[in-house]
Structure 1
Amino acid sequence: MPRLFTVSDSIVIDVPPALAYRAVSRPGDMGRWSPENLGTTDTSDQEPAVAGTTFVGRNRRGRFRWVTRCTVTAAEPGRRFAFRVHAIGRDRPRLRGPIATWEYRFEPEGTGTRVTEIWTDDRRSWPAFAAQVFDRIATAGSTFADFQAKNIHITLRNLKRELEREAGAGPGTTDGTRPATS
């Protein structure tokens, strides 16, 4: 089976694009929705990040914790937000190299916004066999593409629930599921 380098999913959230963008473009808040990300090491800046902003993301998968250095590559209010993960480490992001790119697109749909989350595996230089072995160890049996597809679905569902609740737009998820908790 060929290696899949990009996965995505989308959801319609009953808030304007500017509001959805503002939430997602504050990396320190991502831990509120993501099943794996815990936010950033510096959460003092509550303004949306701009292109070129560098931040250190905190992450958790089971009992494992690690940090990543990320750089914002696109910051188009109400339209697109993206960042590149380019270093990783247990306590400090010391191991440098292309890891992944995360992108969020915001498109008006009816009275709300279609938010699309895209994960791209930037480990292009890794041999397929090495990536497959590493991925299955790091994800307890999945490829990173399958693992991230599940994470994206959970993140979008949680983002919808929270933004709609904050906006008073509705009860949150419409599929009867409960949000993931830490």
Structure 2
Amino acid sequence: MGRVISVSDSTVIARSPQALYAMVSDVTRMGEWSPENRGAVLAEGSGGSGGISVGTVFDGANTRGRVSWTTRCTVTAAEPGREFAFRVHAIGGTKRRVPARIASWQYTFREHDGGTLVTETWTDDRPWHDAAAQAFDYVATGGTTFAAFQRGNIRRTLRNLKAAAESGPSRQGR
């Protein structure tokens, strides 16, 4: 049996699809709810006053344990209130990154029972042989596969996003 290359999870959040899309598509804020990501910066010349759109490039800062790295990402879907997605296509330090197919992330937003069903999906884009991926994954995740590891990260991200979205005075724009 081959490796699992895509995992997702969903939760209902008591906010509008537009409000949740605005939170998630602001990549500078992703560190507020992600267990690994510490936020992002738009690449020079990317973005602009029109906000995030397909083709926007950003660099994500990530930490797992004592290891930190930067990823270069490009937005592949930006439909306010419906879908936000990006692919990770380089990894390394802040100055030097190695181009590589790494992963794709997608968030979808659907009205559901007075709130929004938010689904987060991770897809492994590495063109690696299963045995090589499994060996790397075991070391990089501390003993599991990336699919299992990301399933846990997605659950935590959605739980943290829900808590942030449903709490306090930032609930305007329901």
Cα 1:149–1:45 change in 2 (3 A) is farther
Which of 76, 82, 85 is the aligned partner of 1:82? 85
Equivalences, count: 167
The question of whether the paired residues in 1 share the 8 Å contact of 2:58 and 2:72 is answered with yes
The TM-score, its normalising length taken from structure 2, stands at: 0.91
Higher RCO (CA < 8 A, seq sep 6+) = 2
Match of 2:27 in 1: 27
**Aligned-partner Cα distance in 2 for 1:20–1:57:** 20
Spell out, residue by residue over 1:90-149, the C-alpha distance to the aligned partner (whole angstroms, 9 max, x if none). 2335210110000000000011000000000001x2111110010110000010000000
**Aligned-partner Cα distance in 2 for 1:45–1:61:** 30
**Aligned-partner Cα distance in 2 for 1:104–1:144:** 19
**Aligned-partner Cα distance in 1 for 2:146–2:12:** 25
* Residue identity matched to 1:127: H
1:68 aligns to 2:75 (yes or no): no
1:167 aligns to 2:171 (yes or no): yes
The question of whether the paired residues in 1 share the 8 Å contact of 2:27 and 2:41 is answered with no
The question of whether the paired residues in 2 share the 8 Å contact of 1:69 and 1:86 is answered with yes
Cα 1:130–1:55 change in 2 (3 A) is same
Match of 1:100 in 2: 103
Spell out, residue by residue over 1:147-173, the C-alpha distance to the aligned partner (whole angstroms, 9 max, x if none). 0000000000000000001318xxxxx
The question of whether the paired residues in 2 share the 8 Å contact of 1:73 and 1:82 is answered with yes
Cα 1:116–1:46 change in 2 (3 A) is farther
**Aligned-partner Cα distance in 1 for 2:76–2:95:** 21
**Aligned-partner Cα distance in 2 for 1:5–1:93:** 27
Q: Post-superposition shift, 1:41? A: 3.6
Match of 1:179 in 2: none
Match of 2:59 in 1: 56
The question of whether the paired residues in 2 share the 8 Å contact of 1:55 and 1:70 is answered with yes
Cα 1:113–1:47 change in 2 (3 A) is farther
Spell out, residue by residue over 1:11-67, the C-alpha distance to the aligned partner (whole angstroms, 9 max, x if none). 000001000000000111000000000001459979751111000000000000000
Residue pairs, 1:86-165, within 5 angstroms: 86-123=89-126, 125-165=127-167
Query: Hey, which bits of structure 1, 4+ residues long, moved more than 3 A?
Result: 41-48
Unaligned runs of 5+ in 2: none
The TM-score, its normalising length taken from structure 1, stands at: 0.87
Give RMSD over aligned pairs. Answer: 1.9
